[in-house]
Amino acid sequence: MPAGSLRMIVPPNGCLTQRLAERAYMSGPDQIPWPCRTQLRDGELLLERNVADSGKFHIPWLVEGHGEVVLCTGTLMERARPYQLLVELARGKVNQVRNQIADWQAMGLVLSAKVDAALRKALGQLSRAVTSQNDVAKAAEQAQKAIVSAMDVADLLVGTYVEQAMTVRRRQSSKLRLLLGSNLGNEPIDPSIVGWYVKAFNAALVPFSWRAVEAVEGAHQWAASDRQLAWCRDHDLTVCGGPLVRPDREGLPDWLYLWEGDFNNIQSFISDYVESVVTRFRGQVDVWQCAARVNVNDALSLTEEQRLRLAVRGIEITHDIDPNAPLIVRIDQPWAEYMSRTAPDLSPLHFADALVRAGLHLSGIGLEINMGYEPGGSFFRDRLELSRLLDLWSYLGLPLQVILTVPSGEQIAPSQRGRPVPMAGTFPGGWSPENQAAWLRHYLPVIFAKPAVEAIFWNQLRDTEGCEFPFGGLVDASGAVKPVLPAISALRKKFLD
């Protein structure tokens, strides 16, 4: 067996498809994915990588009642004898839940008898799976049951945490100071949704899209941005502006690609644009998103160092012109699945940490989570994984913004191929307008419960022709409000007002 390889015996029921195998990856103890190659062969999943260190195996897996969620094993060492995939996934999930229980109990969490009973059930099923490994089919059956039970425990546990954490937060302050808003896009707000918007949100994200503002080099079109800001003032909304630097095809004007390979000129053009925006709208924007998606390599063949330099330049220019405004840098795909296919030097967390340590007057970090989309999105994960992610990023010591999208449908036109599309079947029952709202009702309270989070923005207001995230809006293509918008209103009333 070549160095850096790992063999996993797959269940005999054929539930591991090639599509799932291609999404699998390994990570080190720090959860940073390693570039790897996977293939199904003779009833085994073979995973090859360039390092032979022990690590954790991650794979999206269909779990009854929970959808197709990313599961993770415990730490596995390289060995000649293959592991049994489902047994190790069950062991990993049960241990993750047990460790989280211990951490939260140390902080004062009180567990209900229901959580304790559910955990004992999962432990019993795991024990039967581990002791039945001489019978692959039997071990897989018991391990699958243990995974379902562990996921049930995780959900109960997070629900208990949210309830008790929100009680503590309300005891400290009768009203949470949390910004809640949506990206307004570039089109005028339809009068028919204004009432719904102001009922759900107290803030708005005005994008100042360079692609829209300066479609022709040197010819700035400010009318849409002026209109959005006036609308925000009329409805007493806190304004977050940006992202100002967004080096991907949705954020860059087409004419800039003429300069691909000439970083000095690219940086000069971007600097001029940031200066123009901040100078014009200084005093009208409460918070600036200086840069977004700079941790991923999506356009202009920019190196990691060059993208880091663009983020730094955007922060510096914004602070020089508007020194009193809070400054945010937005990080895309914070679980870093993209690193399993590429080999950047910096993980998302390390990329942000480099900016934080540079003394750039950063006021916070934004986490962009477009869950259930690929390419360019995040795999579907349970509430415990979301909670752990937010806790990890809070270690940077800065407030967090969370930028969210999940789909409300799955049928994609051929013209969308190559762009982000919904991952069909990841949510139980499939993605639909009702399930988009169900996801939000289930997950948003977890974000509310985190003291480090100061703002939450939905990443797309409307489903328009050619929108970046199909079915990702709060309003459908016909202009009708989806169930997710009233759901946000209800959660705001319950948790924030």
pLDDT in tens, 6-31: 888 888 776 787 888 888 888 887 78
User: What is the C-alpha to C-alpha distance for residues 198 and 19, in angstroms, rounded to an integer?
Assistant: 42
Question: What pLDDT sits at residue 424?
Answer: 86
Statement to judge: residues 148 and 73 lie in one domain? yes
Overall number of domains in the chain: 2
Q: What is the pLDDT of residues 88-107, one digit of tens each?
A: 999 999 999 999 999 999 99
What the block records as the tokens of 124 is 């019993």
Statement to judge: residues 79 and 193 lie in one domain? no
One DSSP character per residue, 110-134 reads ---HHHHHHHHHHHHHHHHHHTTTT
Statement to judge: residues 159 and 186 lie in one domain? no
For residue 462, give the DSSP letter.
B
Is 206:285 a contact under the CB 8 Å cutoff? yes
Domain boundary among 169, 185, 214: 169
Statement to judge: residues 161 and 185 lie in one domain? no
In this structure, how many other beta carbons lie within 10 angstroms of the beta carbon of residue 106? Answer: 8
SS3 428: coil
For the chain, what is the radius of gyration of the CA atoms?
23
Domain boundary among 169, 187, 218: 169
Question: What pLDDT sits at residue 299?
Answer: 80
Residues 6+ apart with CB under 8 A from 122: 94, 97, 146, 149, 150, 152, 153
User: What is the C-alpha to C-alpha distance for residues 273 and 145, in angstroms, rounded to an integer?
Assistant: 55
In this structure, how many other beta carbons lie within 10 angstroms of the beta carbon of residue 135? Answer: 10
Residues 6+ apart with CB under 8 A from 482: 408, 433, 436, 437, 473, 474, 475, 476
Statement to judge: residues 429 and 283 lie in one domain? yes
Which residue, 383, 333, 378, is CA-closest to 66?
383
Residues in the chain where the model's pLDDT stays below 50? 1
In this structure, how many other beta carbons lie within 10 angstroms of the beta carbon of residue 144? Answer: 23
Q: Which residues share a beta bridge with 223?
A: none
Residues 6+ apart with CB under 8 A from 445: 162, 166, 491, 495
Statement to judge: residues 117 and 231 lie in one domain? no
Domain boundary among 150, 169, 188: 169
One DSSP character per residue, 158-227 reads HHHHHHHHHHHHHHH-SS---EEEEE--SSPPPHHHHHHHHHH-SEEEE---HHHHTSBTTB---HHHHH
User: What is the C-alpha to C-alpha distance for residues 231 and 202, in angstroms, rounded to an integer?
Assistant: 13
Statement to judge: residues 45 and 134 lie in one domain? yes
Helix and strand numbers (H, E) in the chain are 13, 18
What the block records as the tokens of 177 is 């100071």
User: What is the C-alpha to C-alpha distance for residues 143 and 45, in angstroms, rounded to an integer?
Assistant: 17
User: What is the C-alpha to C-alpha distance for residues 115 and 109, in angstroms, rounded to an integer?
Assistant: 12
Q: Considering the entire predicted model, what is its pTM?
A: 0.93
SS3 351: helix
Question: What pLDDT sits at residue 1?
Answer: 42
Phi, psi of 6 (to 5 degrees): -140, 135
Statement to judge: residues 105 and 206 lie in one domain? no
Is 422:405 a contact under the CB 8 Å cutoff? no
Residues 6+ apart with CB under 8 A from 65: 148, 151, 152, 428
Statement to judge: residues 288 and 398 lie in one domain? yes
Statement to judge: residues 165 and 181 lie in one domain? no
Is 58:26 a contact under the CB 8 Å cutoff? yes
Residues 6+ apart with CB under 8 A from 330: 242, 243, 289, 291, 292, 293, 365, 366, 367, 368, 401, 403
Structural domain of 290:
175-496
Statement to judge: residues 210 and 229 lie in one domain? yes
Residue 437: CATH number of its domain: 3.20.20.80
Question: What pLDDT sits at residue 415?
Answer: 53
Is 451:400 a contact under the CB 8 Å cutoff? no
- The size of the chain, in residues, is 497
Please give the C-alpha separations between residue 425 and each of 17, 64, 296, in angstroms, as whole numbers.
Answer: 14, 12, 26
Statement to judge: residues 249 and 379 lie in one domain? yes
